[in-house]
Chains A and B, each alone.
Chain A
Amino acid sequence: MPRAKAVATVQRELVERARAGDHDAFTELVRASYPRLFGVARLILRDSDRAKDAVQDGLMQAWRHIRSLRDPDAWDAWLHRTTVRACYKVARKEKRRSLVELHVTPDPAVAGTPDASSSIAERDRLGRELDRLDIDRRAVIVLHFYLDLPLREVAEILDIPAGTAKSRLHRGLAAMRESMRAPESLGQPDPEGST
């Protein structure tokens, strides 16, 4: 995969320059990664404004601590880690139990794709079930499914044992599956709590 290797090489060079204090290099890295990080934060925090705060905080921390990054090739994983940490910090500050209503704007790239597996209403329902999960389980699901990371890497980012990541994923999915089977009752809190 020569293109992927070229992209990785360019990113590595940018990280090394940023690590040396080159803000322009850092800016390029931020512009490339911001949408992905915002997606992660939004899915974890279930709120666009809080996600924006988390990503801002996470990237500010990344810039301040960039000289602690020893391996430039670990940039993506490190960035995911700072973002998730920032999400947890935001969640702790504004802990609330109410469900959040998301305004989902269909992505033009996928709007025309027939969805054989679920209707729009069912997808909304699934989104609400994701809301109900506690942040620990939701973070594992987001990192595993949205970033397509293997569980071992998810565990590294969240600083938990691999077995714990595995169990949180299974428990989260099981909780969502069970809730989907029951008739929905909006406003009913998740017994395990949610943030």
Chain B
Amino acid sequence: MNEYDAFDQRVADLVANEGATGVPTAAVDELVTATSQVRPLPRWLALIKEPPMRRSSAVAVGSPTVRLAAIALSTILLLVLAGGAVAGAMQLIGPPTHTVSADGDGDFLTISAAVDEAQDGDRILVKPGRYPELVRVIGKDIEIRGDGPAGEIVVEAVPTDVAVPDSDDEEPAVAFYLEDTTSTVARLTVTGPEGSWAVIASGENTAPELENLEIPLVHDTFERGRNLYWTDGASGTLSDSTVGGSLSMGAGATPTLSRNSLNACVWVDGVGARPVLEHNEIFGCEQGFLLFVGEFWNESSFPSSAEIRGNTFRMEAAETGQHMGNIALIVGRSDDAVVIADNEFIGNRTAIAVRAFAKADITGNTVRDGETGIWIEGQGSVLSGNRILDNSLYGLLVHTSPPIEENTLEGNLIGINLGADAQPELSGNTFCGNETDVKVPDGNPTTLDGNEVCGTAG
């Protein structure tokens, strides 16, 4: 037993001895009497009054979500009552509505037929059923909405004559093709054969709103460009949806993806693409990454960018993928700094890699329980205010000299590992409980002056 273990044993003996003495047995009777005179709170009130807990806590006591839901319930009930009359009146003066039913008890049998008839502002309600067709919406702004449980309203991609940008498919299977439109497509399931596209949005004046869609993973296909594809300047939104497979942002694409569950690979590799990804859960891709911004093969390859905020990245298949080393977020090539802020990276083999021809502003993220936290190869990045915790190899692996400010690095094997030429400015960082705080090559002048060091794990 070494000196440290011996000391720990003495502390353990001390607390065991002191803790076992002097128990006031009379106090137990006092307590029993006191508690017998009060009643437990009702469950809903106890949950509200329970102090906030960590989301990851294994102590199964209430949750902030339940508490907020309980508080909001009465407000919602009042709003529903007040809004009921308003909603009824609105129905009388709502948009022209067309119904689609595969069973024949609607205005149309197919969605396409309804779209052909609809004018700007019309609403198309789709009843439960299976709809194997290509729905083309070009040059008009309408609403296509499922009228029932989304899982029972299935639009299925079929072989088409659509010329998919950057694709060699002769008869690509496509479910929705959207161009020159700001239409809404909501509350549907969209599926198709292996290699099909669920939604293609193409063109600068194309900004569809895609909401509450279920786009399941088909045949474990994570191939680039399938399922959802924005290109040629398309924008719009994808929100509150569940997507499996692949999402791709081609040339000039700038959609906003919010609050989705993405069991998918996300490719941002069109020149000038700059999507916004916020508050999504991203996991499952089997291509060795979860989100990929900008091809990085050489300096002349296409630069892309993105704003990536408040998402959770969790690479469940940590051992899969033949290349790229299993990295959750790769920034391959960017002229503008990719914004990576306030995300959570959990259990990834490498959380973030910024390659040689790229740069990123990496701020306020939590990167934990993986192998390597953040790997920086390119010039021009900034790392500030991140929490890098409990990674089994490196917290940061740095080959250049970015400012590294006010980060917390705790519990990593090596807090920061510097490459041969790396001389970053380290200021205001906190190092605690790492086996080694900073590994510095011989002759490298980098110091920890101006940083807080609270002790190594050993």
Contact = CB atoms under 8 A, between A and B. Distances in A.
A170 B8 CA distance: 10
B20 A107 contact: yes
Interface in A87-138: 102-107, 109-110, 115, 117-118, 123, 126-127, 130
A163 B431 CA distance: 11
B433 interface: yes
Nearest to A105: B21
B324 interface: no
B10 A126 contact: yes
A70 B50 CA distance: 12
B455 A170 contact: yes
A52 interface: yes
Nearest to A49: B24
B46 interface: yes
B28 A65 contact: no
B288 to A, nearest CB: 28
Of residues A102, A104, A163, which shows the largest number of chain B Cβ atoms within 10 Å of its Cβ? A163
B11 A173 contact: yes
B432 interface: yes
A81 interface: yes
A167 B50 contact: no
B35 A173 contact: no
B23 A35 contact: yes
Contacts of B34: 56, 60
Interface string B28-58: 1011101110111111001101110110111
Contact of A127 (B14, B28, B30, B368): B14
Of residues B49, B60, B390, which shows the largest number of chain A Cβ atoms within 10 Å of its Cβ? B60
Contacts of B387: 161
B411 interface: yes
B22 interface: yes
B7 interface: yes
Contacts of B21: 104-107
Nearest to A122: B10
Contact of A77 (B41, B42, B59, B433): B59
B12 interface: yes
Nearest to A41: B19
Interface string B378-395: 000000000101100000
Nearest to A65: B46
Interface string B1-21: 000101111111111111111
Contacts, number: 196
Given A23-B36, A64-B41, A161-B389, A39 B19 contact: yes
Interface string A130-148: 1000000000011001100
B9 A166 contact: no
B72 interface: no
B390 A162 contact: yes
A157 B59 contact: yes
Given A107-B21, A110-B17, A167 B410 contact: yes
Contacts of A40: 19
B35 A23 contact: yes
Interface residues of A, number: 70
A77 B454 contact: no
Contact of B23 (A38, A59, A173): A38
A146 B51 CA distance: 25
Contacts of A74: 58-61
Contacts of A23: 35-36
A31 B28 contact: yes
Contacts of A71: 60
A189 interface: no
A126 B19 contact: no
A118 B415 CA distance: 36
B23 A163 contact: no
Interface in B126-168: none
Interface in B277-298: none
Contacts of A52: 24, 27
A156 B54 contact: yes
B203 interface: no
A112 B16 CA distance: 15
Contact of B455 (A161, A167, A180): A167
B433 A167 contact: yes
B58 A156 contact: yes
Contact of B9 (A27, A68, A117, A123): A117
B428 interface: no
B62 interface: yes
Nearest to A177: B7
A49 to B, nearest CB: 9
A48 B24 contact: yes
A68 to B, nearest CB: 4
Contacts of B457: 166, 170
A86 to B, nearest CB: 12
Contact of A69 (B18, B31, B61, B390): B61
Contacts of A67: 40-43, 46
B11 A141 contact: yes
A170 B410 CA distance: 12
B31 A59 contact: yes
B286 to A, nearest CB: 29
A147 B53 CA distance: 21
Contacts of A69: 60-61
19 contacts: A21-B39, A34-B23, A39-B18, A60-B35, A63-B35, A64-B40, A68-B43, A68-B61, A70-B61, A103-B22, A104-B21, A117-B13, A126-B11, A153-B58, A156-B57, A156-B59, A163-B433, A164-B410, A167-B411
Q: Which 3 A-B pairs have the closest CB atoms?
A: A39-B19, A163-B410, A71-B60
Given A159-B53, A170-B456, 12 more contacts: A34-B28, A35-B23, A39-B19, A42-B19, A74-B59, A81-B59, A104-B17, A105-B21, A156-B56, A161-B389, A167-B411, A167-B433
